[in-house]
Amino acid sequence: MMKYDMHVHTIYSDGVLKPSQIINMAVSNKINGIAITDHDTTDGIEDAFNFKDKGDLDIIPGIELSATMEGNDIHILGYWIDYRNINLLARLSEIKEVRIERIEKMVKNLYDIARIKIDIDEVLREGNYYTLGRPHIARVLVMHGYADSISDAFKRYLNKNSQIYVEKYKLTPEEAVKIILDANGAPVLAHPGLIDNKELIPKIIEAGVYGIEVYHPKHHPEDVNFAHEYAEMYNLVETGGSDFHSPEDDIIGECTISNHNVIKLKEKIKSVREVF
């Protein structure tokens, strides 16, 4: 049976390894295929395809989009996306800009409200755009003596009740699914076991996902069971992956699915397209 790890992050989002290093690991772990699913970016895909020593490893171009519903974090994976699609790239750079704008607003609020002037470029240097957030502002505040520690910076300036705080912009699950469908990809609900309010799951599925991530390192047996039940109930393809970020914490191939499920998922893209 061929094994696929359908959930891998690279340094292009918040992972620590380059696509080439990931491919080497996947090959030595005897995995037949991996999906590159970086957060909100397709930048690592080209790099993965260009790597010469990939042997027979099948590489699926993917993405993981962050959405929110009633305050719950919802992640939607997308597979076989057309990663050069102009509209997709425009949408992703919009998401990136909004993230930077949020940082700019908080830096401005720090000055307007607390008369603390820090340099936005210094904050931007602290993290790549995916991980960019309050901890990076906090680090700069500590560096310049405005707070004793990261937690002190949060307590004084950056907590959610502070006037300085700016809400994070996030997609709805419907928007995330649409971005993936518009790029001819297959949308899949990621790690449903990690969603706080499980009652939202049917609503998210109805946003139009083709599959559900049943196998995930953080899923307890009961999470696997309920995800499996939803797959049956809504006729979804069961997927899985390691959600690999770093070799210190994760193993490529820790959770896999068979190539049969990979094919089933890919067929869904075709069957939906044939309707039109």
Restricted to residues 140-199, the positions that interact with Zn ion (CB under 5 A) are 190
- What tokens appear for 71 in the block? 């305050």
Judged by CB under 5 A, which stretch of 14-22, 75-83, 86-94, 132-140 contacts Zn ion? 75-83
Is 43 within 8 Å of 14 (Cβ atoms)? no
- Residue 75 beta carbon to Zn ion: minimum distance, rounded to whole angstroms: 4
In terms of CB distance, is 191 or 268 closer to Zn ion?
191
Q: Which of 3, 54, 75, 268 binds Zn ion (CB under 5 A)?
A: 75
Backbone angles phi, psi at 59, to 5 degrees: -110, 125
CA neighbor of 104 nearest in space, from 91, 118, 94: 118
In terms of CB distance, is 40 or 243 closer to Zn ion?
243
Restricted to residues 21-60, the positions that interact with Zn ion (CB under 5 A) are none
- Residue 5 beta carbon to Zn ion: minimum distance, rounded to whole angstroms: 12
What is the residue type of 124?
L
243 binds Zn ion (CB under 5 A): yes
- Residue 9 beta carbon to Zn ion: minimum distance, rounded to whole angstroms: 6
Restricted to residues 94-123, the positions that interact with Zn ion (CB under 5 A) are none
- What tokens appear for 80 in the block? 């076989």
- Residue 63 beta carbon to Zn ion: minimum distance, rounded to whole angstroms: 10
216 binds Zn ion (CB under 5 A): no
In terms of CB distance, is 74 or 138 closer to Zn ion?
74
Residue count, binding to Zn ion (CB under 5 A) = 4
- In the bound complex, which residue of the shown chain has the CB atom lying closest to Zn ion? 75
- List interacting residues with Zn ion (CB under 5 A): 64, 75, 190, 243
